[in-house]
Structure 1
């Protein structure tokens, strides 16, 4: 069988560094050997082409063989490691052909990947481990701040590893790197303070740095060793993300060559599973670091990573102490009961609570300003933009020009803003401002030319690392978490205060409205008294004298005068009915103490007795199902309810059609009626009264219950337009409901909902 390699040939065709498949190069560096076996049977499926360097066997002799047959008596030791330490954190040492090797293994899917490197006898170093660790910890404890700590770590890692230069990179949010600390040979030019663009470490490389914390390149001039398998196998790419021997991107190799670097060691610094920075060790000649020293350097980096969090928290704590004191001063002022304009003048800590250079509060459309702020029209334009473009309650940026189109015109006042809504943005909000901070960034080469395209259309890294200065404008200092938190707490308290003011104003408005309503009710009561008493007497006299004239002087009256007197009598009668109905409606409010257990069937029988003549005149017929006899209600109001509804049915009959009134009832749950405003967990008696009269347009089903509303002219059908309004008032008194249904020419139906019990 012939061999084939799985070297990725697409690297030369990539269009961007971000698209380079660096995790599947299909090759390794030559300072070790890679075996890839199946985890089910431990048969070797892939291997690097340099297996003879260690095993004295060519790949043809290794592939499709078991690890046991290749390792011999060492297999049981490795198998014990597999079983006892599936997540390997240190190498296993073996003798292969009388030479000592370190084996690192990692599991990926259904494969186990074994990296095998010659072991370096470090017995001479081990007695120094305690002394080296003690010196490192002592030096770290003496660090006064984070930068000092990083400088000390860089020095000790250089002493430990022997590299010519050790740098600690710190990344910003966009992963541009700054040389934050450096320890080097005296004859080398310093890189401390230089910046490197994020394109130097593309996104997929950052992912691998998070997964694989230590990466070593002993010699940038190495020849990649391909990974091979048999030609007849269903070979696929092998993920080498966690493999230290993984071959390096050709672009990165050329980048190092352009810098004059021959060997590197890179250790990741993580914070909250995010790449905070790197420890980059450079050597200007080939250098292979023993595994034990790599582990020691990693341990020192782990200590630094843990201290980064501690130091940053300590720095944040110091800032928090200051802003918290200012926050408490502001919170105390908010609680003072006075006009906001006076209160705002006492906000002496408004700027200090967020370490801002200016602040504005928009309240009820008016701007209150402190410190260095943009002109009012510019501030209002910014608020208008925030209202349309920012959906969150809070928004903070130190580079407003990257979001707001007109930011450069206000950069001297507001290169950074911290915004918090206090309600509707264009009515109430608060904004803290930070002035522009101009600074010069020293780049190691032009960051805009970090990756170039050659004439062959291949990508290549820049070759110049000469100092390139960039003037950065339109930015402010970053907002610290403690500043954002303190500002948010103040804004939330201020928002609650504004809400409290609004509630008080609403209470005042409702109190005034209630006083007006009470006055109106009193006036209405007076009108009811006048209507029910003072108007009755004139009406009684009008009817008395017109009746007397008609009875005693009728023979001497002309036809015209007699007709006029009859019209006076009818008008007086209508007026009398209207007065009676208004009085009845006004009395519907008085319901306290009148609830009793009512037999609705007996009430209905009484109503039918009173309407006997109307039924006889209309030749009307009643269809009735027995009604419940245990309803808690006001007796006379139930009588009024049935009287009005049945009389209504007898009034609006169709010509030449004998009237039929049907009464039925059922029991239901409030939640059963979706279109009626009932209490869901209450049971109701539903009583329906339906007739076969003229009906009405469903569009008027709600207005029928309005007081004085009439669908028909008074000359067509008698009435005052209050009867159904009285029915609605009765149902409101009983915490029930009444609903009207109708169609023109098809009759009307009224559904009454009375609570059970």
Structure 2
């Protein structure tokens, strides 16, 4: 007897079904534009049978202009996991108008076409602007969702449009709805998690729009059905992809004849769907589908903004509590004594029915809480969970078994306040009996259906009510976010208590573990910072050598700062020593060029690394471009401590090269301008005066203290001066002639990565000739077709000047270059890559 389980649905390869819906036609080309696969309904579209088309070049199937446009569009998306769309294209050169979708699937170029719906065509951008303006930002969330459903129904004209939200347990609920009067309401119905299996959710993340025009419609199979290596074609991004028979049967059981699904993605996760149903076959035009998809993307951002605003409010409450607690902590008191007085305040920040603090064997609670005996069992469970992580459950009986305790208090959120032995701040929630209305009984009946030995889709969707007991309300993202802030507060309380409490001094192991836990926390932050430095530096580096030098300098600055503050067991470090070490990275001695003077100031560890990175960028810029780049240049850095305890740093450069405001804002500028305001809530101002750079920084008082031991100076580190970046001077000024702004920007990035010092852009023959007349062009890349003209006049001028160049084209046929003078000029086919550029230049790149 064969066993059938829920995994059958989860394992179904719904992106590898090998067919498309028959209202469109799919062409799959190899990278050299030979047709490798085609849907078997191609004769209706291309007026040729599959056997006549397979192996044929794209230029023999599509019109020259449409193929040129397709190849240019593919240039836009060659580095993304997405697709492009074109509207009203004469694809086959016979006067018929088609809408086109393009994307890459592994090494295949997928082109999908469907006849254009000319009637009532929409301007997608105008429609979406109008739709968004109707949402309103000051209405309650339920009304906001309802209005969104109405707008999608306006565009799609489906019988029912639902906003379907995924819940923490994986099930989904219809939270808003717009429908025609003759159809039933699904508002408030809950659907079990297996109605949308995991692989379907993954597809909703990659391909955000899904249409089923007719659940009983014809499916056109791909010819041949398998790739050359025997694998099926991945149609994850296809707009025509055929549908699982399991899902079609599911829709038929609901009476639905056509459907749309549009993803709502918030912070990279599937928040929910716009689920659209129609009770007759329905195919809406590509323009309306595009408008609905664009609206969903903008709506997703609005949802994210609302959730972010909620998070900011939560964090503000947590910060206020943090300041309140830290202002009144008694260093003589124990951790338990310091925290037990704030149980009521903790309840005000986290929504709960009770709260408790457990430190060693001391236990205090307020409101609905576990008894001392019950908390012992709970602690055993918590001690098996991950270290230094917040624990949460809204159904404790699933982890500890049913008992009077787990049924009375099913919801627990625990914040560890030490590592070993573990102590906790505990939040409790009582039982909430929920009446849930399911769309049919959620248990899925196991039957043998028409699709073999697998689960048959549910047939009954009548409302079925169930009372859920033994659980509390779910702990929300806001709850978990605020507890992470509280955890930091608790660690600071512990650290203060450890410094002055006799009992904790005797328990040396516990104190050491607590400090190590905090140190690990900070090390993880440093590692995350380094990861960000490497990533941002890589994005903005001009060459591998430049990347290596820059990232080594920045990480070196962090390492020096980290070493200084860890020498004193994560204690404050002197500002003067920080500056001296950064300057010694470029000069063995701090001589007449640099003047450092100021009050004896120590910076807290949290600020020390931030200021070290900022000063590293300032010194680096001064050494490369500013006062320290010339022997006669002078740098003055002065600082003083204000009466309120804050520290002011004044930076002045004189005698260097003339200064101008940078035209390009890099990662270094971002570090200088934003690190102190963002991380320390201080001030950073920089002024690019012609005589020299001036900068001003204010560090808040809570990060500063006076150096009581002015005579102590840690030894300076031996930091070698950075080497010059090796730049090949032969790679000079290159002219790029391209009329498409996106391709022009992409080409400019590639040329700079190859090593050209300057890229000059032109978008027409006249602007290109003007650039050539200005002189100084060492090499050129010319897009042959510039709309209504070609770049041949520029090519002729370059030939006369003896300047090497190459062509770029989206056309396969370049026979119109009949002039023999151009016979040996390389022609680069779009879409091209940096490696293809280098190969096309050949030896000519080094003149």
- Indicate the TM-score class for this superposition, using the shorter chain for normalisation: 0.5 to 0.7
Contact in 2 for aligned 1:400/1:407 (Cα 8 Å): no
Determine whether 1:121 maps to 2:112. no
Per the TM alignment, residue 77 of structure 1 is displaced from its structure 2 partner at its CA by 2.9
**Structure 1 residue 460 and structure 2 residue 451: aligned?**
no
Following superposition of structure 1 onto structure 2, how do residues 490-639 of structure 1 map, counting pairs within 5 Å?
A: 490-500=489-499, 502=501, 506=505
1:181 aligns with 176
TM-score (norm 1): 0.61
Q: Would you say 1:60 and 2:57 are equivalent positions?
A: no
Indicate which of 339, 362, 365 corresponds to 2:361.
365
Q: Is the CA contact (8 Å cut-off) linking 1:326 and 1:352 kept in structure 2? A: no
Q: Deviations over 1:672-693 (max 9, x none)?
A: xxxxxxxxxxxxxxxxxxxxxx
- What does residue 27 of structure 1 align with? 19
Would the alpha carbon gap of residues 172 and 505 (structure 1) be closer, same or farther in structure 2, given more than 3 Å must change?
Answer: closer
In the alignment, is the contact (CA less than 8 A) between 2:397 and 2:470 conserved in 1? no
**CA pair 396-148 structure 1, distance change in 2 beyond 3 A:** farther
1:556-602 CA-partner distances (Å, limit 9, x unpaired):
xxxxxxxxxxxxxxxxxxxxxxxxxxxxxxxxxxxxxxxxxxxxxxx
| Aligned-partner Cα distance in 1 for 2:226–2:360 | 78
CA positional deviation for 1:74: 4.2
Q: 1:451 to 1:66 in 2, by over 3 A?
A: farther
Is the CA contact 2:387–2:419 (under 8 Å) kept in the aligned structure 1?
no
Q: Secondary structure at the match of 2:148?
A: helix
Please report how far the alpha carbon of residue 109 of structure 1 lies from its aligned counterpart in structure 2 after TM superposition.
2.0
Describe how 1:4-403 pairs up with structure 2 within 5 A.
Answer: 16-40=8-32, 42-74=33-65, 76-78=67-69, 80-82=71-73, 84-87=75-78, 88-91=83-86, 93-96=89-92, 97-121=94-118, 124-126=120-122, 130=126, 132-229=127-224, 235-335=230-330, 337-338=332-333, 343=338, 346-347=341-342, 348-387=344-383, 389-401=384-396
Q: Deviation of residue 140 (structure 1)? A: 1.3
Alpha-carbon displacement from aligned partner over 1:37-76 (angstroms, at most 9, x marks no partner) = 1112x11111111011111211111111111111244454
* Counterpart-to-counterpart distance in 1, 2:297 and 2:182: 30
Any conservation in 2 of the 1:330–1:349 contact (CA below 8 Å)? no
What is the CA distance between 1:288 and its match in structure 2? 0.4
Deviates more, 1:80-89 or 1:249-258: 80-89
Question: Is residue 423 of structure 2 the alignment partner of residue 428 of structure 1?
Answer: yes
8 Å CA contact 1:420–1:488 kept in 2: the answer is yes
Change (3 A) 1:86 1:385: closer
Q: How far apart, CA to CA, are the structure 2 residues paired with 1:326 and 1:121?
A: 61
Q: For 1:380, what is the secondary structure of its paired residue?
A: helix
SS of equivalent to 2:295: helix
Deviates more, 1:21-30 or 1:471-480: 471-480
* Change beyond 3 A, Cα 1:413–1:336: farther
Q: Deviations over 1:283-310 (max 9, x none)?
A: 1101101000111111111111001111
CA 1:225–1:283 in structure 2 vs 1: closer, same or farther (change >3 Å)?
Answer: same
* Contact preservation (8 Å) 1:166, 1:183: yes
Deviations for 1:129-148, whole angstroms, at most 9, x for unmatched residues?
63x44542332125513322
Q: Aligned partners of 1:428, 1:197: CA distance in 2, in Å?
A: 38
Gaps (5+ residues) in structure 1? 1-11, 510-757
Moved more, 90-99 or 243-252: 90-99
* Separation of aligned partners in 1, 2:18 and 2:260: 21
Pick which of 180-189 and 366-375 moved more.
Answer: 366-375
Report the number of matched residues: 494
| Residue aligning to 2:760 | none
C-alpha contact (below 8 Å) 2:264/2:274 kept by paired residues: yes
Distance 1:205 1:450 in 2: 21
Compared CA separation, residues 383 and 121, structure 1 to 2 (3 A): same
- Alpha-carbon shift at residue 501 of structure 1 (Å): 5.1
| 1:128 to partner: Cα distance | 9.3
What secondary structure is seen at the aligned counterpart in 2 of 1:163?
Answer: coil
Does the 8 A contact of 1:451 with 1:462 survive in 2?
A: no
Instruction: State the secondary structure of the residue aligned to 2:84.
Output: coil
Q: Which moved more, 1:231-240 or 1:271-280?
A: 231-240
Distance 2:435 2:306 in 1: 26
State how 1:638-657 maps to structure 2 within 5 Å. Answer: none
Deviations 1:176-201 (A, max 9, x none): 11111110001222111111111011
Partner of 2:482: 483
Structure 2: state its 5+ residue gaps: 509-847
**426-435 or 31-40: bigger deviation:** 426-435
* Partner of residue 549, structure 1: none
Q: For residue 611 of structure 1, what is the aligned residue in structure 2?
A: none
User: What CA distance in whole angstroms lies between the structure 2 residues aligned with 1:156 and 1:291?
Assistant: 17
Aligned to 1:681: none
Distance 1:384 1:507 in 2: 26
Alpha-carbon contact 1:154-1:182 (below 8 Å) kept: yes
Assess if the C-alpha contact under 8 Å between 2:132 and 2:295 holds in 1. Answer: no
Given that residues 259 and 277 in structure 2 are in contact (C-alpha distance below 8 angstroms), is that contact kept between their aligned partners in structure 1? yes
Could you say what secondary structure the match of 1:90 adopts? strand
Does the aligned pair in 2 maintain the 1:168–1:181 contact within 8 Å? yes
Give the C-alpha shift of residue 417 in structure 1.
Answer: 1.7
Alignment-derived partner of residue 473 in structure 1: 469
Maintained 8 Å contact 1:180/1:193: yes
Residue 336 of structure 1 deviates from its aligned partner by 6.6
Distance 1:95 1:395, change over 3 A: closer
- Counterparts of 1:435 and 1:63 in 2: how far apart (Å)? 66
- 3-state DSSP of counterpart to 2:346: coil
TM-score, normalised to structure 2, is 0.55
For residues 336 and 355 of structure 1, what CA distance do their matches in structure 2 show? 29
Q: Deviations over 1:439-481 (max 9, x none)?
A: 1211101111176444952431010001112222232231423
Instruction: Report if the CA contact (8 A) 2:359-2:424 is conserved.
Output: yes
The Cα shift of 1:408 comes to 4.4
Q: 1:188-245: CA deviations, max 9, x gaps?
A: 2211111111101111111111111111111000121111129996653111111111
Contact 1:420–1:430 (CA under 8 A) maintained in structure 2 = yes
CA distance in 2, matches of 1:65, 1:85: 25
| Larger gyration radius, structure 1 or structure 2 | 1
Q: How far does residue 154 in structure 1 lie from its aligned partner after superposition?
A: 0.7
* Structure 1 partner of 2:783: none
